[in-house]
Amino acid sequence: MKTHVTKHADIDRKWFIIDAEGQTLGRLAVGIANLLRGKDKACFSPSVDCGDYVVVINTDKIKVTGNKLIDKKYYNYSGYPGGMRELSLEELMEKDSTKVVRLAVKGMLPKNRLADDIIGKLKLYPGAEHNQVAQKPEKYTIEG
């Protein structure tokens, strides 16, 4: 019996659209990460990028549980003394809600060379309008 190895020619990519309105950040990020990696496909292989493209709309309407809006912090260090910047989730949501979702999804992807290619297939929009109409994305819902 031979082992099946997934090749780039075997991969059939689709476009999915997810409405993030009212979704919990962590559960949404898990569902997006699984679609981007292709873990729902029969031809899944951890060493090959066989996932689909994902368009997420309404990222400014996600929700979080508990006190995470105030307690969760995002850090950025410039490399200089005194260059540590700290933003709470609430401040980052006001500034750029797409960055919050991108960081949550990126944290759930493998830390290897494929991660940059996988995260490149993620398209995020703060409102209901998006630029991927020509690709005809299918509506996808994440339970949870």
Q: What is the CATH number of the domain that holds 125?
A: 3.90.1180.10
Q: What is the length of the chain?
A: 144
pTM of structure? 0.93
Do strands 73-77 and 53-57 pair parallel, antiparallel, or not at all (unpaired)?
Answer: unpaired
Give yes or no for a contact between 31 and 18, defined as CB atoms under 8 angstroms apart: yes
| Within-domain flag for 7 | no
Give yes or no for a contact between 20 and 92, defined as CB atoms under 8 angstroms apart: no
Q: How far apart are CA 117 and CA 121, in angstroms?
A: 7
Domain containing 118: what range? 14-139
Phi, psi of 142 (to 5 degrees): -110, 120
At 88-143, the pLDDT tens digits run 999 999 999 999 999 999 999 999 999 999 999 999 999 999 999 999 999 999 98
| Within-domain flag for 3 | no
Residues forming beta bridges with residue 100, ordered by sequence position: none
- pLDDT confidence of residue 107: 97
- Sheet of 15-19: strands edge to edge? 122-124, 53-57, 15-19, 138-139
| Within-domain flag for 123 | yes
- pLDDT confidence of residue 73: 98
Q: How far apart are CA 131 and CA 17, in angstroms?
A: 11
| Within-domain flag for 45 | yes
Provide the residue type at 23 as one letter: Q
At 2-20, the pLDDT tens digits run 888 888 888 999 999 999 9
- Domain tally for the chain? 1
For the cut 70, the answer to whether the pLDDT of residue 144 exceeds it is no
At 49-103, the pLDDT tens digits run 999 999 999 999 999 999 999 999 999 999 999 999 999 999 999 999 999 999 9
| Within-domain flag for 2 | no
Residue 107 CA, chain-centre distance (Å), reads 9
